[in-house]
Structure 1
Amino acid sequence: MPRSLHICLFLLFVWESLHAAEPSQRPNIVLILGDDIGFECLNCYGGTSYKTPHLDALAASGLKFDHCHSQPLCTPTRVQIMTGLYNQRNYIRFGILDPQATTFAHLLKQAGYKTCIAGKWQLEGGLDGPNKFGFDEYCLWQVNRRPARYPNPGLEINGRQVDYTDGQYGPDLVSDYLCDFIARHQDAPFFAYYPMILPHSPFVPTPDSDDWDPTVLGPERGQGKNKYFTDMVCYTDKMVGKVVARLDELGLRDNTLVIFTGDNGTNQKITSRLGDREYPGGKGKTSDNGTHVALLASWPKVIRPGRTCDDLIDFTDVLPTLVEVGGATLPDGIPFDGASFAPQLRGESGTPREWIYCWYERDGKRNKVSRHARDKQYKLYADGRYFDVVADPLEEQTLGQTLAPEAADRRAKLQAVLDRMRVESDPS
């Protein structure tokens, strides 16, 4: 072969390699986190109490995970999903993110992504807190104050406090901002994190409710009325559809990874229908109804539609997944706990987890922490309680001391996980 042809082929290879790494070829990423919505609220998981057509369409267009678990409450989940670490490593107390934390926004921004967060913050840090944690832009509720979040809300937008009084609805405003961010950065890879305000209490009318009142002003009082939870789940679904529709309108849908999940189980005051049975909300509990959440992933360019994944996932897995998908790099010196499920998105088997772990105490009081390790069927607490969560998802009857061989073997393996994950400050 002539030398000139060798050179041409080499240059062509270099050109293709460089262009394969161009930012325009990397996927956009939209991560949506519902607030207080368990898996049982979605039709695609067997829920029958609410209408969720947009979420069901998202599931049908991609991959539905059947075994995803969050933390039992909002701040512990937000800290874990953003940092890829179990709470024992970096949880301080409710409502705060460790100022020294490295987040998925930091890592994607370093890799060339434009980054935005819109929705609910609840992590302190002042008006520049979201920027310090890696977000170029933000439009948030509950940064350094707690005004109304639904009709006529008070928001923080890129360092400014903005109070609305003309009948605006908080979820509309933050989703508008997110959609505008997507439009403004459609030519560069972007990471849009949407920790939703909905459907957290107070349960109040939405703009689609018959008795919506746009004149309501002032701070929130009480929990509202349970009957409005149905309207709020429907509006949650509507907001997801709105973001996906904007991606479609801009021609970005094909190469955008859209992930939807929830931050914990449904409010304990809400009981929903799951198939032919009632399923009580378990927010704040470590039982399955407090941690079992939906996880949907849609990326038309990569994920084949209509698939289901049976692998165990917890929220430490989200950061390494986004880092892999975005071509970013995990920094040295941070003991990330999660495992990327990017291979599963691509249709590969990956390396499924044999167990997941939970370290939970709302206020960070380490002498009162609840710890457990689990697989898809069994859950073992550090205090010795052991449950078959397939047969007993609400953990009403602990397994006795006499176990079948398989259950005994699984218990030993989960005990080894608890022993390995225990830190000095944990109670014995």
Structure 2
Amino acid sequence: MSTNRDKLSSSISLFTTGLVLCTALCSVITATSDKPNIIIIMADDLGFDDVSFRGSNNFLTPNIDALAYSGVILNNLYAAPMCTPSRAALLTGKYPISTGMQHYVIVNDQPWGLPLNETTMAEIFRENGYRTSLLGKWHLGMSQRNFTPTQRGFDRHLGYLGAYVDYYTQSYEQKDKGFNGHDFRDNLKSTHDQVGHYVTDVLTDAAVQEIEDHGSGNKSQPLFLLLNHLAPHAGNEDNPLQAPADELARFDYIGNETHRIYAAMVSRLDKSVGMVIDALARQEMLQNSIVLFLSDNGGPTQGTHSTTASNYPLRGQKNTPWEGALRSSAAIWSTEFERLGSVWKQQIYIGDLLPTLAAGAGISLDPELHLDGLNLWSALKYGYESVEREIDHVLDEDLEEPHLSYTRGKWKVISGTTSQGLYDGWLGERVTSEVDPRSEEYEDLIRNTSVWQQLQRVSAGERNISELRDQARIECPDPATGIKPCMPLEAPCLFDIDADPCERSNLYEEYQNTTIFLDLWARIQQFAKQAHPPNNKPADSECDPRFYNNEWTWWKDEQRSSSGTIVGMKEVSFFLIFILTSRWIL
């Protein structure tokens, strides 16, 4: 009798335990399934004027434009002026000076990365139930395995670890050192399956597959997908701009061959955006998704890695303190937004995206993260434009080229510059004689894209495309204060960015002794005192891919081999070391 009672008691206990576990599991599933999928598509070195929703008809980007007109055009999204600082700000929600990522970029042969004590966006979203996937570029450190994406919060990574690769061979060549190696991985494993395939297509196909796999088998778990394209960044020096022949043929009307290839590269990127939206629609994931498109910085029109990118009508280009380096052509879409089909003029920094998207996902962030980024979700959701944003764009105290760029509200301060001011002018232009033939029926082109049609199905509403396009243009009339030159190597410069977005009228002499400028300058000095020292380290010749089977790899964790065989340092047994040492002694 007691045995039966014990069995009954045990069964009730097991049932209760199971019920508790089921309840807990169900609550987790419910909590995660309510969270939106977050899809970020980031272009690399895309010029501010290289998306046609800004008004250019030189070559068109119908899918990106359709996303922009259907959603919210972020007219004042600011990024850092270069790849590594910008990506660090995105993933940490902090200024580069807060993490030591402010000086230049990580060159493949340099042994440093995003500090390991920094929490990434991917870690935060994964901790809150998301599947996290990075497809494409990393560029936040590769000399150690624990610098790499799957060690920093991403469940999946397919792509390259360094600065850029060839579009077909996925190799990176560092000519000044004589280094050349393959750089493409599926998680931690090097993969050559994609060699010979155009990398924009490779990453697009991977994104589509990720969405389809997720939608068909894992909808209860939200997806965080960061699609970091190589396009339209230049590849290796010997063949920097590459595009598939079928894409190139669409732009025969462009006379300059380099610019023709560049247009085709951007066009292929545009098609990628369309395919990602289509995949989300097929899997019925659009209704519960936030989709963001942006560039990591402005385009390089001239000089190193130049591509003919245009930041018209803004001043400067990539790796300068001017608007042409800092302003990103960006758009975001979600059914949560109350003003879809609008141009949002609120200043927003790339480091704001972490707290803003986290808020959109209902994630409460730990105050101990000490983010520099602001949560602008409510302002974005309801279309408010009243937040005065302070942005430390760049503060680099490098002895050779000290320079800074800082904005508070409408006021912007610049002091010092890069490349001795060689790229401080207005470099972009619109070639009005070379017009994409499709521009004659521009509105019909946009409305006939699958992107427009898919987004309209879940968020129908009238959109005045012509009006939105006009609102997204940046106009540069002659300043009311007159054109006053800025010589940032001689004295600081002050601009009213609201009235003078093209930075043509330097107001420093007028305001240098006023409270306005002195307060701005005092704040800059405060940032300088608090800045984290740059993490940059000198090049390390031990990285040479020839030592590691012609692969770019985490050389600090590997033992070099003249035969090209990779031997993991941690995998070499003490016994083997003992035997080898003994033989040497004998």
Q: TM-score, normalised by structure 1?
A: 0.82
Offset of 1:148 from its aligned partner?
A: 4.0
Cα 1:387–1:100, aligned 2, differ >3 Å: closer, same or farther?
same
State the match for 2:298 in structure 1.
Answer: 265
Residue 52 (str. 1) matches residue 61 (str. 2): yes
C-alpha distance in 2 between matches for 1:358 and 1:370: 11
Which residue of the partner structure matches residue 178 of structure 2? Answer: none
Aligned to 1:113: 130
Select 1:77's aligned residue among 74, 77, 86: 86
Provide the residue aligned with 1:193 in structure 2.
Answer: 226
* 1:82, distance to aligned residue in structure 2 (A): 0.8
2:523 is matched with which residue? 417
TM-score by length of 2: 0.61
SS of the equivalent of 1:89 reads helix
Aligned to 2:40: 31
Q: Note the C-alpha offset of 1:89.
A: 1.2
Partner amino acid for 1:77?
Answer: S
**Contact 2:77/2:348 (8 A) holds in 1:** yes
Which deviations, in whole Å up to 9, do the C-alpha atoms of 1:268-290 show, x marking residues without a partner?
A: 2355678xx76676011110111
- Whether the aligned pair in 1 keeps the contact of 2:47 and 2:299 (CA below 8 Å) is yes
Structure with bigger gyration radius:
2
Q: In 2, distance between residues paired with 1:207 and 1:408?
A: 58
Q: Give the Cα–Cα distance (whole angstroms) in 2 for the partners of residues 403 and 238 of structure 1.
A: 48
Q: Distance in 2 between matches of 1:99 and 1:273?
A: 36
The change in CA–CA distance for 1:252 and 1:147 in structure 2 (over 3 A counts) is: closer
Equivalent in 286, 292, 312 of residue 327 of structure 2: 292
1:336 is paired with a residue whose SS is coil
Deviation for aligned residue 1:174: 1.6
Matched with 2:150 is 131
Superposition pairs of residues 104-253 of structure 1, within 5 angstroms: 104-125=121-142, 126=144, 129-143=148-162, 148-153=165-170, 154-164=183-193, 167-186=196-215, 187=219, 188-201=221-234, 202-210=240-248, 225-253=258-286
CA offset digits 1:309-328 (Å, max 9, x no partner): 11111111011112212222
Partner of 1:378: 411
The residue matched to 2:277 in structure 1 has which SS?
helix
The superposition leaves residues 58-82 of structure 1 with CA deviations (integer Å, 9 ceiling, x where unpaired) of: 1111111111111111111011111
- Indicate the residue corresponding to 2:117 in structure 1: 100
Aligned partner of residue 29 in structure 1, secondary structure: strand
Question: How far, CA to CA, are the matches of 2:62 and 2:28 in structure 1?
Answer: 38
Distance 1:211 1:422, change over 3 A: same
Is residue 91–residue 121 contact of structure 2 (8 Å, CA) maintained in 1?
A: yes
The match for 1:339 among 374, 383, 406 is 374
SS state at 1:259 partner: strand
Distance change >3 Å, CA 400–CA 147, structure 1 → 2 = closer
* Residue 199 (structure 1) shift: 0.4
Compute the displacement of 1:336 (Å). 0.5
Distance 1:279 1:373 in 2: 16
Instruction: Indicate conservation of the 8 Å contact 1:359/1:369, yes or no.
Output: no
The equivalent of 1:40 in structure 2 is 49
Tell me the equivalent position of 1:327: 362
CA distance in 2, matches of 1:299, 1:425: 36
Deviates more, 1:175-184 or 1:378-387: 378-387
Range that drifts further, 368-377 or 36-45: 368-377
Partner SS for 1:266: coil
SS in 2 for 1:39: coil
When residues 24 and 366 of structure 1 are mapped into structure 2, their CA distance, relative to the original with a 3 A threshold, is farther
Q: Secondary structure at the match of 2:520?
A: helix
Moved more, 157-166 or 319-328: 157-166
Which residues of 2 match residues 295-310 of structure 1 at below 5 A?
Answer: 295-310=330-345
For 2:228 and 2:408, the matched residues in 1 are separated by 27
CA displacement at 1:208 relative to structure 2: 3.2
- Quick one: distance in 2 between partners of 1:147 and 1:348? 37
Q: What percentage of aligned pairs have identical amino acids?
A: 25
Distance 1:254 1:352 in 2: 28
> d(CA) in 1 for partners of 2:186 and 2:383?
40
Unaligned runs of 5+ in 1: 1-13, 213-223
The 8 Å contact of residues 231 and 265 in structure 2, kept in 1 or not, is answered as yes
The 1:400/1:46 distance shift into structure 2, 3 A limit, reads same
Q: Which moved more, 1:55-64 or 1:364-373?
A: 364-373
Q: Quick one: which amino acid aligns to residue 138 of structure 1? A: H
Name the CA distance, whole Å, in 1 between partners of 2:276 and 2:375: 25
Residue type matched to 1:99 in 2?
L
How much does 1:426 deviate?
9.1
Check whether the contact 1:111–1:327 (CA below 8 A) recurs between aligned residues: no
Identify which range, 125-134 or 101-110, moves more after superposition: 125-134
